[in-house]
Amino acid sequence: MHLGVSESMRECEYSQISTRSSTPMETPYKKKTSKKRKWEIFPGRNKFYCGGRIMMAKQTGVFYLTLVLILVTCGLFFTFDCPFLALQLTPVIPVIGGVLFLFVLGTLLRTSFSDPGVLPRATPDEAADLERQIDVANGSTGYRPPPRTKEVVINGQTVKLKYCFTCKIFRPPRASHCSLCDNCVDRFDHHCPWVGNCVGKRNYRFFYMFILSLSFLTIFIFAFVITHIILRSHRNGFLNALKDSPASVLEVVVCFFSVWSIVGLSGFHTYLISSNQTTNEDIKGSWSSKRGKDNYNPYSHGNIFTNCCAALCGPLPPSLIDRRGFVQSDTPQLAPPTNGITMYGATQSQQSHMFSMESKPIVSDTETESVTKTSAFRAPNSFCRLPPHPSSSSRAASQ
C-alpha cells in the first residue's frame, strides 16, 4: 500500500511539472529588426542603386537619352564605317575611335553615378544650437527675425555665407542649394540633366573630361564618316554611296547638329577652369568688375596653368555623407515574451518591465522615420538619436 501512495505522488508531481522546464534556460532576446542603410532615409530628392553605391538625381530621362545617342552613333560607326576605313586607309582608325568611346563612357558614368559633394544637413540639436547662436550674436529679442548671413574674408575679399533654411546650415563659400535635388552642394557649378546629376566639387573634373572627350569623339566620327562617303563616291557615285551605307547619313546628321553645342560647352568650361570660376558664379557675375572696382575673384591663383592644375589635378575630397552606413539606435528594446512562456534567467524587475511594455503604446515606424531622416544621415561614425519622450521632460521640469 505504501508503494501505491508513492506512485500516486509521482503522478501528481509529473502532472505539475511543465515539459518546457527540461529545456535549457532561456535568455531575453532582442527584437529582430532589419537594419536600414542611410541612403534609404536620405532627405534629398535623389535615386540610389546598387545598395547606395550609385547616386543620381530624381529626373534621369535625359541622361538615358544621352547614353542612347552615344551608344547608337558609335555602334553605327564601328559597324558600317570602320571596316571600310580600316581596309582602305589604316586599322588605327577603329582603335582610336574605341579608346575615345571607352573614355567618354567612363567619364559619363563617373559623373552621373557619384556624389557631387552633397553637404549633410544639420541635426535638430545642431539646428537649435545654431538658432541660439544667431539670436545671441544679433541680440534679437523682438518679432523681427535676425539676419541670416555671415561674412568671411578670403584672400582679402569679403564673401557672404548664406543660411540654408532647408539644410539648417550656413553654406560654405561657393556652395549652393540645388532646387531639383534638394541638397546643398559644395562648389556648386550647375545641375546638368544630360548627365542626370549635379555638377559640384567631387565630380566637376570628370564632367569636364566627359564633354572635352565627347567633343573629340564627335569631330572624329564626323570627319571619318565624311571620308567614308567621299571614298565610296569616287567608286560608285554619290547616290550609290549613300545607298550602300545609309547609316552614315544618320551619323552625319547627329554629329552635325550636336558638335556645335558640345564644342561650345567645352570651350566655355575651359574658360571657367582657366579663371577658377563656376557656372553659378559666372551667371550671377559674382566677381565682375561691374559690382565694384575692388571686386575680384579670390579663388584665382593668378595663373592659367595653376588654375587648371587646381581644378583637374588636385586631390579629390572625400564624400561627407555616409550613404551606405547603417542607421543605429542607442537603446535596443527587448521583445515582449510570448503568452504562457516564462523568460528564465531574467530578474523579477526585468520580467515586470517586459510585461509592462505590452500595455505601453508603441511608436510607429513613420514617427521614427520622420526623426531619423533629419538626424541620422550624417558623416561616418554617426548615430541616430531619438529625442526624449515628452512625459520625461515635463516630469523633470516639475521636479
Q: Is residue 308 annotated as a catalytic residue, yes or no?
A: no
Query: Which of the 8 DSSP states describes residue 34?
Result: P
Residue whose C-alpha is closest to residue 204's, from 116, 267, 266, 307: 116
> Which own/partner contact pairs does 247-252 have at CB distance under 8 Å and 24+ positions apart?
247/76, 247/79, 247/80, 247/81, 248/76, 248/80, 248/81, 250/76, 251/73, 251/76, 251/77, 251/81, 251/221, 251/222, 251/225, 252/222, 252/225, 252/226
Largest CA distance in the chain: 126
Question: Residue 265 has which C-alpha cell?
Answer: 560647352
Single out the catalytic residue among 74, 164, 192, 198: 192
SS (HEC) of 336-390: CCCCCCCCCCCCHHHHHHHHHHHHCCCCCHHHHHHHHHHHCCCCCCCCECCCCCH
Confirm if 241 and 249 have CB atoms less than 8 A apart.
no
The residues assigned a catalytic role are 192
